[in-house]
Amino acid sequence: MELRQLRYFIAVAEELHFARAAARVGIEQSPLSKAITEMERHLGVRLFVRTRRSTQLTFAGETLLPDARRIMAHVDQAQRNLKAAASGRRGRLRIAICDGLAHPRIAKLLAHSRGEAPEVDIQVMHNALPVQLGQLYSGLLDVAFSLSPRDDQQLQSVPLWRDAAVLVMRPDNSLSAETNVGQIDVGTGRLFLLGEHPAGTAEPIEEWLLSVEHRPESIEYVASIELLLTLIAAGYGVGLISLAQAETMRRPDLIMRPLSIRGATITTFLIRRREDPSSAVARFTELAQKSA
């Protein structure tokens, strides 16, 4: 099986249309169809069910697709590494920031890291936490920043910044009259928090929130700060964000109040593989801990 066949397969699997897939990979439809047929013959399975009106993946095709994407991602990364080495760079650091995490300190840390190690090729991307974790496990990512920790035999979470928690609400909320909010009373509404957690794992509720008297029973996690603010502005409840995030936003339809609750903080975590031999990862983790 050739790499070009895998690339063609991914294009057809994602487009589910041979003409569009052919245009996407830059070849005619006939050689694309022939390459897929040869691939199916070599593997001994049908990857697509093709009719005059539609193209659909078979179960075998659905099974192959994530592996094909992973293989091509590794190949593309290897090519980028070679280009970086050819341009004089030594080492590589792939960093992901989760949805909803707009932290000024991350920008300062990245700038500091570039200044400390200009020879390291730093690549920054923006992914949801489940995607980040999958890439960390597979070696396609080196470091992730998240509001939700993840600790197991392969991954470890390093707590970095603990910022004061701020309550976000509509101006007509009864809590808006308070200078410092001492009780999170949401009435019939919900309390929204930023964060994600993979299926089957515990919700990443902050420890201080667990001990709050009259803690809201309805707590909902959302992946993006945009969705959190939209739900609050629509009257579905109130939300908690960090002071660092609050300082980056201006919303005339929302107001923010600090909390007078002991220990009310929101933690940003750095997630990495436990057994990572990369000196670039070790140095970056050390810089991150110093910044905390």
Domain segments of the chain: what residues? 3-84, 90-158+268-291, 162-265
Q: Is the pLDDT of residue 109 over 70?
A: yes
**69-105 core/surface letters (b: 16 or more CB in 10 A; e: else):** eebeeeeeeeeeeeebeeeeeebbbbbbbbbbbbbeb
Homologous superfamily (CATH) of 90-158+268-291 is: Periplasmic binding protein-like II (3.40.190.10)
Angle at alpha carbon of residue 229, lines to 130 and 265, rounded to 5°: 70
More confident residue, 267 or 215: 267
pTM assigned to the model:
0.62
| Tokens matching residue 249 | 């936003």
CATH class of 162-265: alpha beta
Share of the chain above pLDDT 90, in %: 26
* pLDDT score at 64: 92
Q: Which of 26-30, 77-81, 109-113, 207-211 has the lowest mean pLDDT?
A: 207-211
Q: What is the mean pLDDT of residues 1-22?
A: 90
Distance of CA 290 to CAs 93, 151, 219, Å?
18, 21, 33
Instruction: Please say if the pLDDT value at position 105 is more than 50.
Output: yes
Query: What residue type is 208 in one-letter code?
Result: W
- CA 213, chain centre distance (Å): 32
Residue among 244, 164, 229, 141 at smallest CA distance from 193: 229
Q: Do domains 3-84 and 162-265 have the same CATH topology?
A: no
Task: Read off the pLDDT of each residue in 100-125 and give the average, rounded to a whole number.
Answer: 82
Residue 136 DSSP SS3: helix
Architecture per CATH, 3-84: Orthogonal Bundle (1.10)
pLDDT tens-digit map of 43-99? 999 999 988 888 999 999 999 998 888 888 878 767 766 765 655 445 678 999 876
The runs of H, that is alpha helices, within 87-220 are: 104-116, 129-138, 207-210
Mean pLDDT of 24-42: 92
